[in-house]
Amino acid sequence: MATNTREKTKRIAENKDKRPYATARHIRMSPYKVRRALALIRGKSVNEAVALLEYATVISAEPVKKVVLSAAANAEHNFGMDRGDLIVAEAYADQGPTLKRMNPVSKGRAHAILKRTSHITVVLDVKSK
């Protein structure tokens, strides 16, 4: 049984994605809003993506910019890549846990308020020449 476990662990390690990435979890913003900023940068170079997010009017540009810069720093530090050669290969926002709050209304009733959170992931790759 231990042999099978070791082989399975080895297979998982071989198939693991070796591209630099960064993740921000539990961002207090709806994933719908975050996806608007991610659509702007997908496929762009890192420098261009940061410049776009710097002047974007979408509210979610700031946390997305932080994740892109973090992924670029991970690429430089952990993989020894040059920041000028990197592009945003994948960028997606998943839904995190939802904070549930209640708004009291007439006749003793209450309406639900859903405060959504996001998990933002940015994966970088080397620009193909």
Q: Encoding tokens for residue 103?
A: 């708004």
**Collapsed DSSP state (helix, strand, coil) of residue 83:** helix
Distance, in Å, from the CA atom of 107 to the CA atom of 118, rounded to the nearest integer, reads 34
The neighbouring-strand residues paired with 92 are 121
Q: Which residue has the higher pLDDT, 66 or 14?
A: 66
Give mean pLDDT, residues 96-111. Answer: 97
Q: Is the confidence at residue 117, as pLDDT, over 90?
A: yes
Residue-level pLDDT at 127:
85
Question: What percent of the residues of the chain are helix, what percent strand, and what percent coil, each to the nearest 5?
Answer: 45, 30, 25
Q: Please, what are the domains in the chain?
A: 19-126 (3.90.470.10)
Q: Encoding tokens for residue 24?
A: 């921000």
pTM given for the model? 0.86
Give mean pLDDT, residues 89-117. Answer: 96
pLDDT bin (cut points 50, 70, 90) of residue 17 is confident
pLDDT bin (cut points 50, 70, 90) of residue 129 is low
